[in-house]
Amino acid sequence: MKVAVLIKQTPDTAELPKVSVAEAQSGDLQATMVINPWDEFAAEEAIDLKERFDFETAAISLGSEGETDALKHALAMGVDSAVLVDERIIDNGDEWTTAEALAEAVKTEGDVALVLTGKMSVDGNSGVIYAGVACKLGWDLLVNVTKVVDIVDGKLIAEQVFEGGQETVEAPLPLVVSVAKEINEPRYPSFMGIRKASRAKIPLLGNDDLRIRPAYASHWRNLVKPERERVQARIFDGDSVEEKAARLADALLAEKVI
């Protein structure tokens, strides 16, 4: 059985303040691209499950041809194999179309029992892809998983955290699971792992390999920077803290903020 882990390649957030919308729009983005930080937890969990339950592991990413650094990072960590889905097959499609392409790529992996994903991407940020993939595969979904307790009798037992509470749940495989950062401590790729990954050939899946419906949902038409909000500062003076606070409260009431 296999664990497939979904890996997105995203700009290094340390460099984001330097990236302009014009650059992004022109397709001439100079940012260093890395593995989406949330997906490192998913990759680590896949490797951990491989060690605990003897799974095979495969990393899948949808991106531009040649965008393989994130996949190579996952391989260097210890994931067994990787494939890149050519983003041209989604034909400028949105998250729903992306989920369909990723779900089809999961099917090409064969005997997949579990799909692991991060919590969200640091660029798109929608946090919906795992729900879309589960829906397209027709599998159940667990989100916010902080521990895989066991896999037994075709079921996965996991801990999830919600609003400070923790619950233990079980769900039948096959399953899509999005993991939270509390689940593990991602390992650094070893030197040997980096050397092995650098030599790996990563297959590119395109239109001939995956059958997805043409993008039928929303499409990108334009990308603009939102207008800067004009903020006015007012300072409330008074002879005492109480007087200043009362004036502030009056102003907030007048603005219908409170």
Piece of the chain touching ligand FAD by CB under 6 A; list 50-58, 136-144, 149-157, 217-225 = 217-225
Encoded tokens for 161: 């955290």
- For position 7 contacting ligand FAD by CB under 6 A, the verdict is yes
Position with the least CB separation from ligand FAD: 124
Residues that contact ligand FAD, how many (by CB under 6 A) = 33
DSSP string over 11-52: E-GGGGGG--HHHHHHT---SPEEE-HHHHHHHHHHHHHHHH
- The answer to whether the bond into 203 is cis (omega within 30° of 0) is no
- Which one of 2, 3, 4, 8 is in contact with ligand FAD (CB under 6 A)? 8
Q: Does 92 sit near ligand FAD (CB under 6 A)?
A: yes
Q: Which stretch binds ligand FAD (CB under 6 A): 18-26, 36-44, 106-114, 232-240?
A: 36-44
Q: How far apart are the first and last CA of the chain?
A: 56
Contacting range for ligand FAD; rule: CB under 6 A; set: 113-121, 160-168, 203-211, 245-253: 113-121
The maximal CA–CA distance of the chain, rounded, in angstroms, is: 76
Compare residues 102 and 113 and give the one whose CB is closer to ligand FAD.
102
Q: Examine residue 222 and tell whether it contacts ligand FAD (CB under 6 A).
A: no
Q: How far is the CB of 255 from ligand FAD (least distance, A)?
A: 34
Q: Is 78 helix (H, G, I), strand (E, B) or coil?
A: coil
SS3 122: coil
Out of 11, 78, 118, 193, name the contact with ligand FAD by CB under 6 A: 118
Among positions 126-185, residues that touch ligand FAD (CB under 6 A) are 126-130
Q: How far is the CB of 59 from ligand FAD (least distance, A)?
A: 9
Separation between Cα atoms, residue 162 and residue 6, nearest integer Å: 23
Per CB under 6 A, the list member of 107, 211, 219, 225 interacting with ligand FAD is 219
Nearer to ligand FAD, 87 or 159 (CB): 87
Q: Does 62 bind ligand FAD (CB under 6 A)?
A: yes
Does 87 sit near ligand FAD (CB under 6 A)?
Answer: yes
Exposed / middle / buried, residue 202 (Cβ in 10 Å: 0-12, 13-18, 19+):
middle
94 in contact with ligand FAD (CB under 6 A): yes
Contacts of 4 (CB under 8 A, 6+ apart): 46, 57, 58, 59, 60, 106, 109, 112, 114, 115, 116
- Rounded to 5 degrees, what angle do the CA atoms 84, 21, 36 make? 35
Cβ neighbours of residue 81 closer than 8 Å, sequence gap 6 or more: 56, 57, 58, 59, 75
Is 121 a binding residue for ligand FAD by CB under 6 A? The answer is yes
Here the tokens at position 225 are 């920077």
Can you give the binding site for ligand FAD, defined by CB under 6 A?
A: 6-8, 36, 38-39, 42, 61-63, 87, 90, 92-95, 98, 102, 117-118, 120-121, 123-130, 218-220
